Structure 1
């Protein structure tokens, strides 16, 4: 039991770190950010905070929306909300990933960033500790509206992008490549890893609360 928990936590934290590396690579490509990162950058510039902190703020609001709409929240959802932003700031501050200064180096950094981000998703999703806040919101809106996952995702991305642009976020050819390329990168990586997200059995916080209650009841009998 203990070994299983440790294994899940290692997959979760390791996966989120890998995701953060991929995200920073797409940012440092200097070709225009992913739609949600355009929003994060816009908020970052307006409030004078780091892009990682802005990421945490948006993830927090998204998770609250998930909860209101009836989505099950997992420990992985909470970890995603906090750690991705923290890891992003750490990686950016460390200077571990250089910034591209040519279109070619930018394209390479962007493409590899999307692939690495996809690999990170395999790790953290395989932990079975809950989806990320945005993924949870997408599922909730899909259920509420009856629209396909693709339509809901595109609508969410466009909304984040428009708000981000209004706030002064950076856009460019990389924004378009990311918007369409991430889905392809995920498909390729998931196939390489032989990973099917629909087969993952997630454990949610409510499950742990029930487990503790049952354990407590059994101990008092």
Structure 2
């Protein structure tokens, strides 16, 4: 899976803008839908959402608002790392939380273990497609992924190590705050990479060759 690393100006001038903008917002919408489905399946969620839901137990804000605030705070950590947010970074920070609140308003909790497992599997596939569309639009990483790549560039440590440390940290904090850890958390950790890879080749927009 190859990800093009473009500056914010290059992102906007790289061509195929209508298609890339469509893929960006369709991808983020699907990503938010998958987050909502994982929550409603009640089998555990991904590490960052364990943290978000843990915070929601202690502050009188909607989950989407918490996602936006955490994303904005993570963006502040980009400053010493000398990372520049792109359009996709800003859209991820603001739009994802709004879309999540929208879906949670209409989706009920899933009852019955069979339906819960099916919902979990569908959510991971939708998340993989949404992530592939979003990443493949070449508008820059989300705040959490940008933190990971920024730390990698500044420290020289491997992406795998940094991602593992970050996700275990937010998972532990979220669990301590009462966030839901379960089968879904493990399944997401194991399957989201292959699910994103499955869709990435077809979902990624091929940029015109630079002249």
Give TM-score scaled by structure 1 length: 0.81
Cα distance in 2 between the residues matched to 1:144 and 1:5: 31
Equivalent in 183, 188, 210 of residue 178 of structure 1: 188
Equivalent in 124, 145, 166 of residue 114 of structure 1: 124
Cα 1:200/1:149, change in 2 over 3 Å: farther
Partner of 2:112: 102
Contact 2:135–2:204 (CA under 8 A) maintained in structure 1: no
Q: For each residue in 1:93-115, what CA deviation from the matched residue of structure 2 results, as whole angstroms up to 9, or x when unmatched?
A: 123xx432122211211111111
Structure 1 portions without partners, runs of 5+? 202-221
Aligned: 1:160 with 2:170: yes
Larger Rg belongs to: 1
| Aligned-CA RMSD value | 2.1
Shift of 1:200: 6.8
Cα distance in 1 between the residues matched to 2:198 and 2:16: 28
For these two proteins, the number of residue pairs brought into alignment is 195
Partner of 1:88: 100
Shift of 1:195: 4.2
Q: For each residue in 1:14-68, what CA deviation from the matched residue of structure 2 results, as whole angstroms up to 9, or x when unmatched?
A: 2111111111111111101111101000111100211111111111111111233
Higher helix share: 1
Partner of 2:30: 18
Aligned: 1:132 with 2:153: no
Partner of 1:8: 20
Give TM-score scaled by structure 2 length: 0.84
Structure 2 portions without partners, runs of 5+? 1-12
